[in-house]
Amino acid sequence: MSETRVDPTVAGLFLIGFLTLVFGIAGIQMFNSGTSDLLDAAGFLIAPIALVILIFAYMAGKAGNAFAVALFAYIAITLFGASQFLGNEPMLFYLVAVFYVIFAIVAFIIGAPKLLGILLILVAFIFLFMGFMFAVMGSGDTEPYAIAFGLFGVLSFFVATYMAIALATQKFPVF
């Protein structure tokens, strides 16, 4: 009998892909109708997903990947924060975006795959435009920000899912 192990990086990328797709669809939904039941539902899903990503951070630590530990732990913390303050604190979303850019810079410096840096920048844009949207909600036009965070969410889904499949199967290049 062979032993199968879960690669925390692959599993984490699949979860991040799922969550960014949810955000992407919610943003597009908000652009089309001005509201999104999916975004409300995402607030409920975020905390449990963040807990699972925190477990992946621990697993990455056991595998000796310090950068993955830091990144997954940060993702889990930002998701917990987002689930608690969704729509109430735009400045939190701006701060989260800045730190995703910092992680992208570190990823480029340490020689991680360029797609990881690109994914982190795409996720930074999701948080940035969500912050803009929440800042003007109720007093301004949220549509441009909703479609922007929606499109960045869908793009992030494709990048995260491609990376997860490429790493899991080792049949596609991860540049």
Mean pLDDT to the nearest integer, 28-48: 76
**163 within domain boundaries:** yes
Q: For the chain, what is the domain count?
A: 1
CB 38 within 8 A of CB 19: no
The pLDDT of residue 2 is above 50: no
What CATH number does the domain containing 14 carry? 1.25.40
Location of structure tokens 């080792």: 170
- pLDDT per position as a tens digit, 142-160: 899 999 999 999 999 999 9
Q: Is residue 3 part of a domain?
A: no
At residue 1, the pLDDT reads 39
Q: For residue 4, is pLDDT > 60? A: no
pLDDT (mean) for 122-141: 90
Alpha-carbon 13 to chain mean position:
9
pLDDT reported for residue 3: 52
In the block, residue with structure tokens 């199967």: 169
Going by C-beta distance under 8 Å and a sequence separation of 6 or more, which residues neighbour residue 165? 172
Domain around 54: 8-168
Query: DSSP 3-state assignment of 111?
Result: coil
Tell me if 118 is assigned to some domain. Answer: yes
- Classify residue 173: in a domain, yes or no: no
Per-residue b or e along 99-123, where b marks 16 or more CB atoms closer than 10 Å to that residue's CB: ebbebbeebbeeebbebbbbbbbbb
Banded pLDDT at 79 (limits 50, 70, 90): confident
DSSP letter at 65 equals -
pTM to 2 decimal places: 0.89
- Give per-residue pLDDT as tens, 82-123: 777 766 788 888 999 999 999 999 999 999 999 999 999 999
The pLDDT of residue 5 is 64
The residue-averaged pLDDT of 122-140 equals: 90
Asked if the structure places residue 56 within a domain, the reply is yes
**Stretch (H or E) spanning 1:** none
